[in-house]
Structure formats: structure tokens, C-alpha cells
Amino acid sequence: MASLGGYLNLVPPSGLRDCVAASSTKAGESSWVTVKDPQGHGIAVDPNPWNTWEGSGSSSVKLCSDGLDVVVSYSEATAARPPETVLGYPEVIYGYKPWGALSTPTSPLLQLPAKVGQLPQALVYVDYSVEFPNGRGNLAFDLWLTRGPGQNGVGPRELEVMIWLYRTPGFNPMGYQSPSSTLALPTIVNGRPGIVNWGVYIADPMGPGRWTYVAFTLEPPLASGSVVVPLTLVLRSLRDLLPWGNEVSDLYLNGLELGMEYTSLTWPPTRVSVMARYRLNSYGVLVLPQA
């Protein structure tokens, strides 16, 4: 089907006048908020302290006409599942999230869920800043690729694909010391186009009965600035990175999730203090014309 393409603005949403905010202290508190633009397309903002069992403080998100601000501040925080290092992932969601079946209305420019092999050429633009005054973590996309659309959960021969724009020193995907390979991709960093060698980390699978994890890390990490990521190229590169990569084209990209994984400076995260924040000045998707 022919398409003229166009730019899908996600943050700040078009037409937003009043700020919306949400805050949550621990896992299990549903406090996400959905915001729609005048065309009816939407995003959800979610504080998402998914692995925080208890503590004093909160993960808070505030979306206004000039962007999104996220602040995480905890004392005496304890992980719900201590082997899991990450305490939370305050995020922006576009499309469908297979954990909790959260969904937003999507634009004809980029309708999700959609099969990877049927995606248009899409470039994701993010202008942001992130800092960890007392903590470790990243700013990253989290993408779930499943065998069917609208699943509630992810399993074997399905994928979690992360695209890390920033990470604190020593905070690596899956705790690995170094990437298994690098991937050269056309990337625009702070307005300068070039070829960037992204680090590639793979756990295939993450464990018995679990999904496959692949992370791409921007090198060097960028704490503040703008990045244009070739989203479709990243996903299609999985065909050559995985032994079962010929199946990837038939997997569904459920949605786009962009957020900050955070944890404490010490491990395990038991009765710890954490402070981290990020800001999205602008975030959207450029969909190229299709013949």
C-alpha cells in the first residue's frame, strides 16, 4: 500500500494544554495516564516501579506542553524480586504493552501491533537529558516482539529488544562485561549524521522457558542531546544476529516503550536510596514514504 509518510509526534502530544501527572510508590499500583492528541492517537505515561516492594518515596511523571519530566526519589527501597537488579522503568508507551495488556490508540502512520516484516521504514527521534545523582541505570527503548498481537506475556522464541541511548558506567545489559558484537548503523547524533557502531548484547534465551533478550547500546553513551535511531533497520538486523533470525519477520512489534531503568549504587537493592531523573524535550517517529 502506498503511503506519503510523515512525522508522528509523541512527546509533547499535539494540543496538550494542561499538564497531566502520575506517581507511584511500589509494584502493583496502577497509576498510568493516557493522553490523546486531536486526531485521537495516544500515549500512556507510567511511573512503573515494577520491581519495588516497599520504600519511602516515589516514581513520578509529569507531561506538559513543553515535554515530559520524570523524577525518581526513594529511601529504604527494597526490590520485590531481589535477583532482579532494576527497581523500575518509568516510561512512555505507544501501542500495546504485553505485560498488563495496556494499550493506546495508534496512528495510521504507524499502526501497532504490526509484523516486523511489514513495518514501514521508521526513524525514531529523541531529544532528552538523563542523570543519576544517586543510582545507576539507563535511558532505553524496550520493544516486545511476539508471535501474535495482543498477547499477555512473552515466552520462548519471542523477543525483548532494548535500544540503550545512555547508561551509567558499569551498568551493562544483563550484567555482561562486553558486547558479543557490534553493528554499524546510520545514526544521527546531535544533528550530525554518520555511521555508529552500536554494541550488541544477546541472551538467547534469558533462561529455561523464557524469551530471548537483545540489547543495542549507543557508543559512546549520550547523557544529553538528540538521537535519530533507524528503528526498522535495528529490528531487521535481528535476522542476521540470531540463529533463528528467519522467524523474526513474522513476529509482531507490539508497541514502542521509552523509559529509564534505575537501581541503587549498591547490590542487592535492599533498603536502598535512589535518585534519578530524565526529561524528554521532544520524541517522535518519522515514517518514510512507501511506494
Q: Which CATH class is domain 6-287?
A: mainly beta
Q: pLDDT tens digits, residue range 34-73?
A: 999 999 999 999 999 999 999 899 999 999 999 999 999 9
Sign of the torsion angle spanned by Cα atoms 149, 214, 63, 13:
negative
Beta bridge partners of 198: 183
Which runs of consecutive H residues, i.e. helices, occur in 120-263? 231-236, 238-241
What does the mean pLDDT of the chain come to?
Answer: 95
pLDDT, one tens digit per residue, over 81-94 is 877 889 999 999 99
55 phi, psi to nearest 5 deg: 150, 165
Q: Domain coordinates of the chain in residue numbers?
A: 6-287
Which cell is 130 given?
538523563
Entry pTM: 0.96
